[in-house]
Amino acid sequence: MEPNFEIRRLLDIMPASARMTTKIVSKPEQAKVIDAVFPLPWNQERPIYINFDLWLRLAKPQRDLILLQKVSWLTGVKWFKPNIYKGVVVAGLVGGLIESAQSDVVGVAVAGGLSAIALARIWRNNKSQESELSADATAIKIAQRRGYSETEAAQHLLSAIEAIAKIEGRTSFNFSELMRCQNLRAIAGLSPVGIPKN
């Protein structure tokens, strides 16, 4: 199968809002089946890199779900959505400017430290296991609009995670993948034990 045909098919599966920023790029030299770099605030484009030689070893429903999960994760990173931490960053920056205008070194250090702590918290929240679990849930919701049932979508995403590990030659999952698999088993009805809410 030609990568361009598969790319067009994958773009059709994506939500319309994601097509504006997310770009699928063929990267045959990478060892991973699918990869995406954590999007920084100044990057408007959010590429997803796919090794199509490895990608086509997955079944079509697995490809659909793993792509939707990656798109959901990328579009879920919101640097400019207002919340308390972003407010603290802005307050720290404004405070730092005011203090620097008054030549108060201690005030600048305190304001800069406050901004740095809040930025670190925003970064950690966007790279947490919770963001991965949220991306899984969003991917399943989008898949339901594409004709999959909730349990089918969870099963396909679960089997895709397991298949990708085998294709990439990994013998074990990382902690995030273990949590995701357990949560997906619960959603698919394969396990009575899910992930605690907190």
Give the dihedral sign, CA 67/72/77/81: positive
Residues 67-91, buried b or exposed e (16+ Cβ, 10 A)?
bbbbbbbbbebeeeeeeebbebbee
The pLDDT assigned to 198 comes to 55
Label each residue of 33-62 as H, E or C.
CEEECCCCCCCCCEEEEECHHHHCCCCHHH
Count the helices and strands in the chain (H runs, E runs): 9, 3
The pLDDT assigned to 54 comes to 94
Residue 149, token pair as written in the block: 């049932």
10-residue mean pLDDT profile of the chain (198 residues): values are: 84 89 92 89 85 94 95 80 64 75 78 74 71 91 94 94 93 87 89 65
The pLDDT assigned to 90 comes to 67
